[in-house]
Structure formats: structure tokens, C-alpha cells
């Protein structure tokens, strides 16, 4: 009888651990195809990405949607990733690699938690090397609201450099079941001897429950008198607390031109 009791308790503990699966590691992979229609001709851009994150403390998954677990738990992390890009029939079939490392540290003060961020990325298309550095500073204005300012520099070998900044805001409203997340950002790139590049984005995600979310995004790119609008829809589903799959479709067009861009993407991530 004692052995049976221990066995039942062990099974219950295992089920409980699965149902409340905190995590410290996350691995992710994604692939996308972009079709660029230039009017008289077109081309494809294929991108393949892998990456991972290590969290300094175990991330609590019980505070809301699983997709937002790190955000809700004020988690600090270090991340790294690699992206391979293949441009078929565009710029003579140009290929490129991108390597990056980034981190976020949350100083969880009782008064107002502070956010410190940093990143470095090296892109190596066939024609040059591009280094991008950034630092960010912000805060949790509430437990579910963040405001972060980011400053950075883009350095193109034998091509000059550019400074950029971005201001981003994110807020999560908890519902009886699931949540609603609103995000927005404005960014500007200061290019030497040229007009600034301005970028605006706004996104909303409705989490039907803690495992499934649907969202949409609108963005605008403004440079040299040209404006491009982008519309996107996306979704993520956690099949288990440790495995998720996602999909996204986006469409953009440059005003007063025949240029149209469509992107289809899929992704997956695993937590442990």
C-alpha cells in the first residue's frame, strides 16, 4: 500500500511539474519566403533563422499567456541567433549571413523596475560587412506596461555609418480568459548626407486563452519622399507548455509605384 501511495504521489508530482513548466532555456527556429514584385519582374528572398535564450532565473509560466511569460515575469536573459538570407533573381542572387547577440536585464526594484538592453549584430552580405550596435533603457511603468528607448549605430564597411533611435511601448490587459496586448514603436535612422528614415509600427494581439493568440500589425516606412505601408496577421499556438508553433503573413506596397512585397513565415520554439 505504501509503495502504491508513493507511486501515485510521484505521478501526481510529474503531472503537476508538466502543468506548471517553468523554464530557463528557449530554442527557436523560423523560415520565411518573401516575393518582391517590381512590376516588370520579380524575385524571392528566403530567410532561415535559428536562435536561443538563457534566462538568469527560472521564468514563471503561470502569470498569463505563455507567449508573454518572460514579459510578465520581468525576466532577464541573454540571447544569440543566426540568420541566412538568399535573394534569388535580385542583385545577382545575393546571399548573406547574420550573427547576433543581445541581452535584457531587469532591475526589479519595488518602486519601478528598470530595464537595460544591449545588442550586437554582424551582417555579411556579399558586398560588405555591416555591424550594428544598440543600447536601450526603460522601465516597467506598471507590472504589465513597459516603455523603452533604444539608441544605436549602423556601420557599413567602406559605406559610412548611420545612427538610429527607437521608442517602444507595450501593455498587456488581462482578461477572464487570455489577454489583449497592444504594442507600438517609432524609430528614426539618421543617414549621412540623406533624409532621415522614419518607421512607425502598431500591433495588437488577442490571446483567446493562455496557449493561443491571434494578432495584426500595421507599419509605415517613410524615406526620400517614398512611403511604404505594411499589413500583417500572425498567430502562435503552444501545443504544450514547452513547444509552440507560429505563422505570419505580411503584405506591403510602396505608394505611387508598382512595387509589392508579400511574406509568408513559419516558426517554432521549445522551452526547457
Query: What is the pLDDT tens value at each position of the chain, 272 positions in all?
Result: 434 444 444 434 444 444 458 999 999 999 999 998 876 677 889 999 999 999 999 999 999 999 999 999 999 999 999 999 988 766 555 688 999 999 999 999 999 999 999 999 999 887 778 999 999 999 999 999 999 999 999 998 877 788 999 999 999 999 998 999 999 999 999 877 667 789 999 999 999 999 999 999 999 988 666 788 999 999 999 999 999 999 999 999 887 777 889 999 999 999 99
Nearest to 223 by CA among 187, 196, 250: 196
CATH number at residue 30: 2.40.160.40
Task: Round to whole Å and give the CA distance between 35 and 161.
Answer: 29
144 lies in some domain:
yes
Cα 244 from Cα 237, distance rounded (Å): 5
Partners of residue 169 on adjacent β-strands: 147, 184
Q: Alpha-carbon Rg of the chain, whole angstroms?
A: 21
Range of the domain at 135: 21-271
Task: Give the distance, in angstroms, between the CA of residue 25 and the centroid of all CA atoms in the same chain.
Answer: 16
Query: What's the number of domains the chain is made of?
Result: 1
User: DSSP character for 193?
Assistant: T
Please tell me the pTM assigned to this model. 0.88
Give Cα separations from 205 to 28, 37, 67, 178, 265 (angstroms).
Answer: 20, 29, 11, 10, 17
- Which residue, 219, 259, 207, is CA-closest to 63? 207
Question: Residue 249 domain-assigned?
Answer: yes
Short-list 166, 192, 170, 193, CA closest to 180:
170
In a domain? residue 229 = yes
Q: Would you say residue 233 lies in a domain?
A: yes
Question: Per the domain annotation, does 52 fall within a domain?
Answer: yes
Q: Decide if 2 is inside a domain.
A: no
Instruction: Tell whether 5 is covered by a domain.
Output: no
Residue 65 lies in a domain: yes
- Report long-range pairs for 133-139 (Cβ below 8 Å, ≥24 apart): 134/164, 138/114, 138/168, 139/112, 139/113, 139/114, 139/115
Residue keyed to cell 528614426: 188
Amino acid at each position: 500500500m505504501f509503495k502504491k501511495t508513493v507511486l501515485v504521489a510521484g505521478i501526481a508530482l510529474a503531472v503537476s511539474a508538466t502543468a506548471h513548466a517553468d523554464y530557463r532555456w528557449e530554442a527557436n527556429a523560423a523560415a520565411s519566403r518573401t516575393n518582391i514584385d517590381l512590376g516588370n519582374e520579380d524575385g524571392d528572398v528566403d530567410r532561415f533563422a535559428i536562435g536561443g535564450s538563457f534566462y538568469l532565473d527560472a521564468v514563471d509560466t503561470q502569470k498569463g499567456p505563455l507567449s508573454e511569460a518572460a514579459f510578465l515575469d520581468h525576466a532577464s536573459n541573454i540571447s544569440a541567433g543566426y540568420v541566412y538570407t538568399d535573394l534569388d533573381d535580385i542583385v545577382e542572387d545575393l546571399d548573406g549571413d547574420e550573427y547576433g547577440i543581445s541581452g535584457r536585464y531587469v532591475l526589479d526594484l519595488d518602486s519601478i523596475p528598470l530595464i537595460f538592453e544591449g545588442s550586437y549584430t554582424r551582417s555579411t552580405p556579399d558586398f560588405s560587412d555591416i555591424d550594428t550596435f544598440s543600447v536601450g533603457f526603460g522601465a516597467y511603468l506598471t507590472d504589465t506596461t513597459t516603455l523603452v528607448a533604444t539608441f544605436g549605430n549602423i556601420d557599413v564597411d567602406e559605406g559610412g555609418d548611420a545612427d538610429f533611435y527607437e521608442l517602444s511601448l507595450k501593455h498587456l490587459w488581462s482578461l477572464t480568459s487570455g489577454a489583449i496586448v497592444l504594442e507600438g514603436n517609432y524609430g528614426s535612422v539618421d543617414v549621412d548626407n540623406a533624409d532621415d528614415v522614419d518607421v512607425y509600427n502598431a500591433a495588437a494581439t488577442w490571446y483567446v486563452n493562455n496557449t493561443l493568440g491571434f494578432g495584426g500589425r500595421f507599419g509605415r516606412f517613410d524615406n526620400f519622399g517614398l512611403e511604404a505601408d505594411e499589413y500583417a496577421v500572425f498567430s502562435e499556438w503552444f501545443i504544450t507548455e514547452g513547444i509552440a508553433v507560429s505563422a505570419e503573413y505580411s503584405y506591403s506596397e510602396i505608394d505611387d509605384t508598382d512595387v509589392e512585397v508579400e511574406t509568408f513565415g513559419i516558426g517554432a520554439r521549445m522551452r526547457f
